[in-house]
């Protein structure tokens, strides 16, 4: 079976074709799927992406889903995980209703951050990162109940880190240095022409397009409608432990050591029609 994991980040498995714009391992191939999926039509058995769709503008998200439909074989499976807007909003309303008027409420503050921060932040990590760094142990447990534990370093990731001096890593390091030099030159010229404010606006724009921002959010209705609109059928909202993908639980893409990686997720699967 050809199983494709799009925008995999640090969560990948060797049995899959793993694609990401910024590969973290030699097991991951470089690919910016905002443009297209570089695979032939009707060539894949499974297409999967987790917490990728919300980082695309709504129209770009629909283009990606059409690409998923195109590369799947008839009756091929598409599985998508996104932050669940419904669950986040319900948590916000519950926190609002229970917040004490006379005292600060971490649960309320976190609900606001979870709802809004990643859409509006202007620096890496934003308010969410600050809250995580300064949380008490009790507050950290609440955060983990909402968004999952901090990422763990898997054996595969440790092995990837040991491959420091491979040709691919050296080329990636050279590319990063070249990019940093290019950015420094752009900022220096812009600062001379437009001043500090123009330089800061360039930096902000660069960050807003870095892939960290949420450009759209989905609930069970809107995501199911998106599947339907691009041509999928038999659309089903699933749990993290439930999938039509054979042996999906063995790949540990969503559940590791019995814990769901991202508890705030909405999971939806569907099939490309046979005809």
Mean pLDDT score, 225-242: 97
Helix, strand or coil, per DSSP, at residue 200: helix
- The confidence score (pLDDT) of residue 128 equals 94
pLDDT in tens, 5-61: 999 998 999 999 999 998 888 889 999 998 899 999 999 999 999 999 999 999 999
Could you tell me the CATH number of the domain that includes residue 61?
3.40.50.150
Lowest pLDDT segment from 113-117, 150-154, 213-217, 241-245: 150-154
Same domain, 62 and 98: no
Domain's final residue, options 115, 147, 179: 147
Q: How far apart are CA 211 and CA 249, in angstroms?
A: 28
Q: What is the pLDDT of residue 114?
A: 95
In a domain, 241, yes or no: yes
The predicted model gives 226-240 an average pLDDT of 97
pLDDT tens, position by position, 50-109:
999 999 999 999 999 999 999 999 999 999 999 999 999 999 999 999 999 889 999 999
pTM, rounded to two decimals: 0.86
Instruction: Quickly list DSSP for 88-151.
Output: HHHHHHHHHHH--TTS--HHHHHHHHHHHHHHH--STTHHHHHHHHH--HHHHHHHHHHH-SPP
Q: Is the pLDDT of residue 154 over 60?
A: no
- Residue 207 near residue 198, CB atoms below 8 Å: no
**How many structural domains are present in the chain?**
2
Residues 136 and 96 in one domain: yes
User: Which domain, by its residues, includes 120?
Assistant: 86-147
Question: Does residue 25 lie in a domain region?
Answer: yes
Q: Which of 147, 172, 198 is the last residue of a domain?
A: 147
User: Is 136 found in the same domain as 66?
Assistant: no
Report the share of the chain in percent with pLDDT over 90: 69
Q: Are residues 8 and 81 in the same domain?
A: yes
The answer, yes or no, to whether residue 155 has pLDDT greater than 60, is no
Q: Are 12 and 72 in the same domain? A: yes
Q: Are residues 20 and 77 in the same domain?
A: yes
Whether residues 73 and 96 share a domain: the answer is: no
**Residue 109 resides in a domain:** yes
- Determine, yes or no, domain membership for 97: yes
Whether 206 is in a domain gets the answer no
2, pLDDT greater than 70:
yes
Per-residue pLDDT at 162: 52
119 compared with 164, residue with greater pLDDT: 119
At 169, the pLDDT band (50, 70, 90 cuts) reads low
The verdict on residue 13 lying in a domain is: yes
Supply the pLDDT for residue 197. Answer: 87
Torsion of CA 152, 158, 161, 163, to 10 degrees: -160
Alpha-carbon span 124 to 135, nearest angstrom: 18
For residues 78 and 16, state if they share a domain. yes
Q: Is there a contact between 215 and 57 (Cβ–Cβ < 8 Å)?
A: yes
Q: Are residues 110 and 141 in the same domain?
A: yes
Residue 151 — pLDDT band, cuts 50, 70, 90? Answer: low
Domain presence at residue 92? yes
Q: Is the pLDDT of residue 229 over 90?
A: yes
* Residues 102, 139 within the same domain: yes
Contacts of range 40-43, beta carbons closer than 8 Å, 24 or more positions apart: 40/71, 41/70, 41/71, 42/70, 42/71, 42/72, 42/73, 42/74, 43/2, 43/71, 43/73
Same domain, 70 and 7: yes
Residue 178 lies in a domain: no
**pLDDT tens digits for 126-139?**
999 999 999 999 99
pLDDT of residue 183: 77
Cα distances (Å, whole numbers) of residue 62 to 17, 48, 212:
22, 15, 19
């Amino acid at each position: 079976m050809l199983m494709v994991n799009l925008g995999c980040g640090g969560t990948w498995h060797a049995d899959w074709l793993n694609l990401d714009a910024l590969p973290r391992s030699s097991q991951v191939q470089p690919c910016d799927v905002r443009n297209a999926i570089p695979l032939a039509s009707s060539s894949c058995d499974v297409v999967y992406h987790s917490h990728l769709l919300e980082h695309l503008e709504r129209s770009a998200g629909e283009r990606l889903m059409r690409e998923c439909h195109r590369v799947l074989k008839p009756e091929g499976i598409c599985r998508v995980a996104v932050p669940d807007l419904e669950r986040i909003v319900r948590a916000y309303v519950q926190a609002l209703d229970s917040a004490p008027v006379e005292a600060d409420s971490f649960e309320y503050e976190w609900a606001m951050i979870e709802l809004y921060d990643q859409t509006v932040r202007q620096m890496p990590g934003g308010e969410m990162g600050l809250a995580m760094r300064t949380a008490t142990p009790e507050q950290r447990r609440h955060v983990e109940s909402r968004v999952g534990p901090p990422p763990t370093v898997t054996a595969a990731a440790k092995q990837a880190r040991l491959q420091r001096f491979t040709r691919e890593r050296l080329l990636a390091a050279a590319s990063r240095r070249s990019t940093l030099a290019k950015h420094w030159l752009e900022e220096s010229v812009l600062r001379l022409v437009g001043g500090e404010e123009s330089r800061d606006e360039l930096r902000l724009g660069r960050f807003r397009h870095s892939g960290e921002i949420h450009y759209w959010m989905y609930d069970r209705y809107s995501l199911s409608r998106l599947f339907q609109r691009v041509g999928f059928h038999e659309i089903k909202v699933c749990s993290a432990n439930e999938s039509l993908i054979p042996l999906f639980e063995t790949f540990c893409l969503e559940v590791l050591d019995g814990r769901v990686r991202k508890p705030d997720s909405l999971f939806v699967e569907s099939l490309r029609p046979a005809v």
